[in-house]
Chain A
């Protein structure tokens, strides 16, 4: 920005112009014209007379701000209602109110500390009963398992003993047959051969 620009702008903003600056502006062709025009505008603006305003309907600019009023009313009413509801809610929480609805109607009860204790004890008893039942069931199951195992073992041993007995009978029968064979052979041999224990080839 040139010095002339600065001088001109400062004069327009503050109205202050030294004689030297004025000369500088007037020496420049462009700024001389701008200065002249601006001066003329300044004088015309100061001479501008604000004449009377033609008649117009001022009343039309005023209107009832009804919407604001109703909004304000609603707002205050809403505030009050909210405050009351908050108070009721706080009271219900502090007094531990409980609403019971049944076929006969409904009832509101406050301060239910004792009732809560009773409920707690009932729950505790129920829980201990359930635990006891569970342990009994577990014992029964174990007993049953042991019994079943015992029966199965007995059956297995019985089966084994029966098998052994059969084997023994079979062995005894075989030995009997062999003895009979031997007896027959002995009967059919000579007495000397028997004495010398010679078995003849058949």
Chain B
């Protein structure tokens, strides 16, 4: 029943129905925002990325053929946007020689205090310590609950690479988790 209504909304949005599109955005903004938040480690960046991701989703909505769930497809698009953002930031950092902004530096931000209040800070902070590839594997494995094969397909690497990235990430997270 839910899927039917989701499908209807998507089809209406494809035909240019603004209300249907905004309803879709409301329905899926939460998982996409939190995906961006965990990947970027900064609520401001996550909100910017959320907007960019939904613009991309709307642009490529016509290509959505219901082969997977809308959430999976949308998160995949958000993933690519995050990669672009991460690369740009990396280039900027190399140019400016500034350290990567992480969640701890956002104490004064109201959004930051919001997610801290929810007790998610530890997760965000721990993930921010990881390199991008390992952070990605942790996200897909523990938060999106994909199998190794599925992660390998998504990242276009072998499942052994995925496993080794996960093991490295778990080893790196060890001291952080012990402290927390």
**CB within 8 Å of B: which residues of A?**
5, 9, 12-13, 33-34, 37-38, 40-42, 44-45, 47-54, 56-65, 68
Contacts and interface: CB of A to CB of B under 8 A. Distances in A.
Q: For this complex, into which size category does the number of interface residues on chain B fall?
A: 35 or more
- Which 9 A-B residue pairs are closest in the complex by CB-CB distance? A61-B54, A45-B142, A51-B118, A37-B170, A54-B111, A53-B33, A13-B147, A41-B142, A49-B118
Contacts of B141: 12
Say what secondary structure dominates the interface of chain B. Answer: helix
A45 B143 CA distance: 6
Contacts of B18: 62
Contacts, number: 88
Contacts of A63: 58
A40 B179 CA distance: 13
B163 interface: yes
A54 B143 CA distance: 21
A41 B139 CA distance: 10
B163 A60 contact: no
Interface in B32-46: 33-34, 43
Interface string B47-84: 10011001101100010000000000000000000000
Contact of B26 (A9, A37, A44, A58): A58
